[in-house]
Chains A and B, each alone.
Chain A
Amino acid sequence: MSSHDVRDMLDLPGDAPRPAKKQKIAAPRPVLKGLAREVQNLSGDNPIAIVPEVTVFKKRRFATRKPAAKWELKPFKNSARNGDSLILRHWRRKTEAPPAPVAEDGNGEPAAAQPPPEIDDSTFAKYNVRVQTPKYNDEQYNTKLRSDDWSREETDYLMDLVEEYDLRWPVIWDRYEYELPIPQMDVDAAEGAIVPAQKVRSMEDMKARYYFIAATMMKLNKPPELMNAAEFSLLELMHQFNPAQEVARKRFAEAAFHRTKEEAREEESLLLELKRILARSERLTEERRELYARLEAPPSQGAIGVYSSSQGLQQLLQQLMTADKTKKRRSLMASDGISPAGPSGQHQQGNFERRDSINRESISGPSASNNKKGPSQGISERRQLTADEEKMYGVKHLDRITSSGPAFRHEKITKPITSKSSIQQQKIANVLTELRISQRLRMPTEEVGKQFEILLQNINVLLDQRKLADKLAGEINIAKAVKAEKEKKERAERGEPEPGDEDGEGGAGACLGDGEIKMEDGGREKSAAPSIRASSVHKRSASVMSGVSDKSTKRQKK
């Protein structure tokens, strides 16, 4: 429906001749593809601004209209299977050319057997590569390859094995089971046959023998002068084979494999230590050389003797001043220290000073640049450190860090002490001195911190116990005093004489008194017993006692 139709319906004026419009509409239509015709018509003469994008979800599958590919079951043989007549079949893309064999293939075996030239070789046959082992004849062996250790038979046996197992030495070594022939006195084997017992050949023995033979044969076949680089290097390599070294290497590797984690770590730290020592010695020699260089007359500054007197210095200063004046002043001022002619008066003090300042500047230069370089290396991705690296760089992951920022370990370790009241601090300090532990720990490391924490806990327990002991002793004294008072009163009521009473109750009291003394004695004995073991215990118990008596007297006064 077009706008004209609408107008038509509503009887609006402005009708234009129809045929003309039809032509117009025909033009834009193909441009606005994918839009419903009705929607398009709504806009009337004005072109529609929005054109919906046509989304293609899937390409049409059969766009090419090619027929399905045909596959066929083809027989093949594998030439690597030394003349084996086994014939297997596999699916292959059918080649276009011969349409006829399809039927034949369907028959299977007879067809496969029938056309011998058609059967292809397996694609994997090309991987069946045999190593080339050196071949020798009798004469060559006798002239060049004879060995006291190896008989001809054994050498042959080795060569066979090498060929069979493609130079895979571990396999060769595993399969090597050479049995001495029953003494058959061949001419050439005579020497070898003398070897009495069966020998256990190590892999290195075999390798040494093989490389010897291979190298010799190589040289025999082609003089070394005519060899190309690769051949020659191979020859060299074979000549260089050293069985003893090889054995040592293997043993070392095995040892390295079996070492424990602790050993590895120790080795690492030892290496670090060694590095440190070496660096230190290097530095020492460096320093020494510098010292020697200084002791000798500086070679580059031969004329320095002239300036050694104050007069000479004055002269130098004059020279420098004039040079300074003639040259542009600013350039000299800018490169103050580095310029050999320091213009200001302070610089006349001496050559060493100046040299030092040069040194310092040149040293601080790179270090500053290092610092700047550091952070740019990797802000975004933090590297994952291995456990060893973390140990080396002192990185710890803690569950809870109370405050971020720098701190000192010793401060942190002693915090439980310093946060207490001064009286308590003094008490802890006393215990520590009794234990002969210095309050300033010599090496506040993490491990030391952990142990020290345990120690502090123990000390706190100990202090609590002492407090309790004091309290108990005081209460016992009070109870005793009360009891004595009561007894006194009772006696007074009954009008009995004070001491040495034979009365039942008095006797009981005396008994009790005795018991009490015994108890105390017992207590003393107990505390005295450990005092033999450790002097500090004795000191402590003595102090407890004195503390007890002090407190009890105080309470009695009250």
Chain B
Amino acid sequence: MAPPNNQKRVKGTQVYRPFVYGTIAKPFNDETNPKPPGTPADHTHSWTVFVKGVDDGDITYWCKKVQFKLHESIQNHLRMVDDVPPGGTFEVHETGWGEFEITIKLYYVPESLEKPQTLYHHLRLHPYGETEEEKEKMKQRGEVPAVVYEEQLFNEPYENFYEILTSPAPVGKGGKTKVLKGGMVSSVGERTALIPLTNRPGSEFSLETENMLLEEIRRAIAETKKLSDNLAKENQEAETYLAKLRAEIAAA
């Protein structure tokens, strides 16, 4: 959609919203995850691909619909998920036997006047990890999550959209029916960019995790600094030695 002339972008402003996306796969077994009738015999896992807010926050006020592009061998491989209640999850459930890359296309609300954006996510069915230990742990859990945190940046959003992004969720009649029908409480749907302070089982994306990551990166920065300092010293020595060698050659 071409932006109409009467709309202006809010200059020099960036608004961000955290969200998570990814897949969760479960192998079929008779007790906890029986094969639903009608699944092909060679399917080994049931899995879900989703896009949702951090800690069940609302994202529907900026994300209108999500298209999941699955592997072409899957019937009806373009799945458009639409009409998600506030605070809900855009998700697709499937069964299958193989891993592949899912293309996730986010469509923004019409007020944003923005083009859809694409994310890529690798569907994980089998336990993964850098060490065997991690893999084993995942196997014990009975499900293979591959969930990542992402932040949606709106660079210089249009004024209308900026207004939506920076006002609290409207309450009133609409909000009330929401509570009744979807079991959704308006305050969960608060339009905030804040992330929870601490980790909870089921949602490990919080300030705590961020701080841990920051700690790691700072350590890495210190390490690289040390390495390059050492290397710089060695290089200097090597240079003086080379100069000496050359002087000798010239003299001889």
Contacts and interface: CB of A to CB of B under 8 A. Distances in A.
A487 B12 CA distance: 69
Contacts of A490: 252
A462 B155 contact: no
Interface stretch (B30-38, B72-80, B217-225): B217-225
Given A367-B60, A408-B151, A283 B185 contact: yes
Nearest to A454: B221
Contact of B235 (A431, A454, A468, A537): A468
Contacts of B93: none
A195 interface: no
Interface string B72-100: 00000000000101100000000000000
Contact of A276 (B156, B196, B223): B196
A370 B61 contact: yes
A404 B12 CA distance: 9
A344 interface: no
A362 interface: yes
Given A406-B117, A526-B234, 10 more contacts: A371-B164, A374-B167, A394-B193, A405-B154, A406-B153, A436-B216, A462-B224, A465-B231, A473-B238, A540-B227
A478 B159 CA distance: 66
A282 interface: yes
B45 interface: no
B47 interface: no
A389 B87 CA distance: 21
Contact of A483 (B86, B112, B252): B252
B223 A396 contact: no
B249 A483 contact: yes
Contact of A290 (B109, B156, B183): B183
Contact of A377 (B15, B150, B163, B196): B163
Nearest to A534: B223
B103 to A, nearest CB: 14
Closest 8 CB pairs of A and B: A394-B193, A366-B174, A375-B160, A409-B151, A404-B156, A458-B224, A286-B183, A465-B231
Interface stretch (A60-68, A157-165, A198-206, A441-449): A441-449
Interface string B233-252: 11101110110011011001
A522 B9 CA distance: 62
A395 B13 contact: yes
A437 to B, nearest CB: 5
B197 A479 contact: no
Interface string B108-127: 11111011010100000000
Interface in A504-527: 512, 516, 519, 522-523, 526-527
Given A362-B181, A476-B245, A374 B164 contact: yes
A483 B213 contact: no
Given A406-B108, A408-B117, A394 B15 contact: yes
Nearest to B9: A404
B228 interface: yes
A329 interface: no
A469 B237 CA distance: 10
Contact of A442 (B174, B209, B227, B245): B209
Interface string A356-390: 00011011111101110111011100110100010
Interface in B160-183: 160-167, 169-170, 173-175, 177-179, 181-183
A266 B18 CA distance: 20
B101 interface: no
Interface in A270-301: 270, 272-273, 275-276, 278-280, 282-283, 286-287, 290
Nearest to B221: A455
A77 interface: no
A452 interface: yes
Contacts of A516: 241
Contact of B173 (A363, A366, A389, A482): A366
A465 B224 CA distance: 11
A526 B93 CA distance: 58
A401 interface: yes
A461 interface: yes
B29 interface: no
B177 A363 contact: yes
Contacts of A362: 177, 181
A57 to B, nearest CB: 45
A269 B187 contact: no
A444 B111 contact: no
A364 B245 contact: no
Contacts of A272: 190, 192, 194
A483 B248 contact: yes
A552 to B, nearest CB: 13
Contacts of B217: 437, 448, 451-452, 455
Given A279-B187, A401-B155, A466 B231 contact: yes
